[in-house]
Amino acid sequence: MLLSLAALVSAQNRGGAPPLPPRAAAPFDMSGYWVSQIVDEWRFRVDPQKGDILYLPLNAAARRAANAWDPANDEAEGNACKAYGAVGVMQRPGRLHITWENDTTLRIDTDAGTQTRLLHFGPAPALPGPPSRQGYSTAVWQFSARAMLDLGGVGFVPGGGPDQRRGGTLRVTTSQMLPGYLRKNGVPYGDHAVLTEYFNRLTGAQGEAYLVVTAMLDDPAYLTQPFVRTYTFQQRPDASGWDPTPCWPR
């Protein structure tokens, strides 16, 4: 017979171990400086040209918008940062600085565009605030073999296994985004788009650390199917090379 969540939590707490907050329960460490590794799609991620919209599941409205894009209009309207929203900023060449803002919030600062993303553990508030470039991101650890039990944002308790922190993925869902660009050449996404990301830390052959981010964008306004890409970042030992560059002016 399955135990209810309340009964399981009560049983765990009788052992004297309080629930672990997301920071303490993390199956891997994301903090530090990371630099993007662009091994493919160079022309799309570094300097895409107007009208170069290959390999994207765009509908007719998106194609019209991309082909009509004028960067001068973006600048005149104060929208030169539309390619640096939550969807686009992880594609830009550059570096990430990841820290814990508190026990339930991960912070990602990007030097490309000088943007800040906040990943919130726990349920989203009923009123998450007005739309913004980075939107509202809800994060949850997904543990391998159910090694930890998620208490719905309250914390975590051990769920089995000799190493309670072994294995896992960070799943992040972002909504409440202002309209922006998939690519810097005006390929649009709308204000009802939802971005789902999976963050994993991997170790290379020489012991180097990589952060692999698989991103999936669903957008009823401009996409005919989800847009899925994977971005890789290598960890750097310090802040050398960190160069915050604003997205305005271009």
d(CA 19, CA 122) in angstroms, rounded, equals 14
DSSP letter for each residue of the chain = -PPPHHHHHHHHHHTT-PPBPHHHH-SS---EEEEEE--S-HHHHTSPPTT--TT--B-HHHHHHHHT--HHHHHHTT-TTGGGSHHHHTTSSSEEEEEEEETTEEEEEETEETEEEEEEESPPPSS--S-BSS-EEEEEEEEGGG-EEE-TTS-EEE-SSSSTT-SEEEEEEEESBPPEESSTT--EE-TT-EEEEEEEEEE-TTS-EEEEEEEEEE-TTTBSS-EEEEEEEEEESSSTT---EESS--
Beta bridge pairs of residue 76: none
Beta-bridged to residue 144, according to DSSP, are none
What residue type is 38 in one-letter code?
Answer: I
Question: What pLDDT, on the 0 to 100 scale, is given for residue 100?
Answer: 98
Q: Rounded to the nearest 10 degrees, how much is the dihedral formed by the CA atoms of 90, 91, 92, 94?
A: 60
Mean pLDDT of the chain: 87
Lowest mean pLDDT among 14-28, 42-56, 92-106: 14-28
Q: pLDDT per residue over 99-153, tens digit each?
A: 999 999 999 999 999 999 999 999 888 888 899 999 999 999 998 754 444 444 4
| C-alpha to C-alpha distance for 156 and 148, rounded to whole angstroms | 6
**CA 112/CA 215 separation, integer angstroms:** 18
pLDDT grade for 12, boundaries at 50, 70 and 90: very low
Task: For residues 187-196, give the mean pLDDT.
Answer: 98
Predicted confidence (pLDDT) per residue in 232-246, tens digit? 999 999 999 999 999
Selected residue with higher pLDDT from 110 and 8: 110
pTM: 0.85
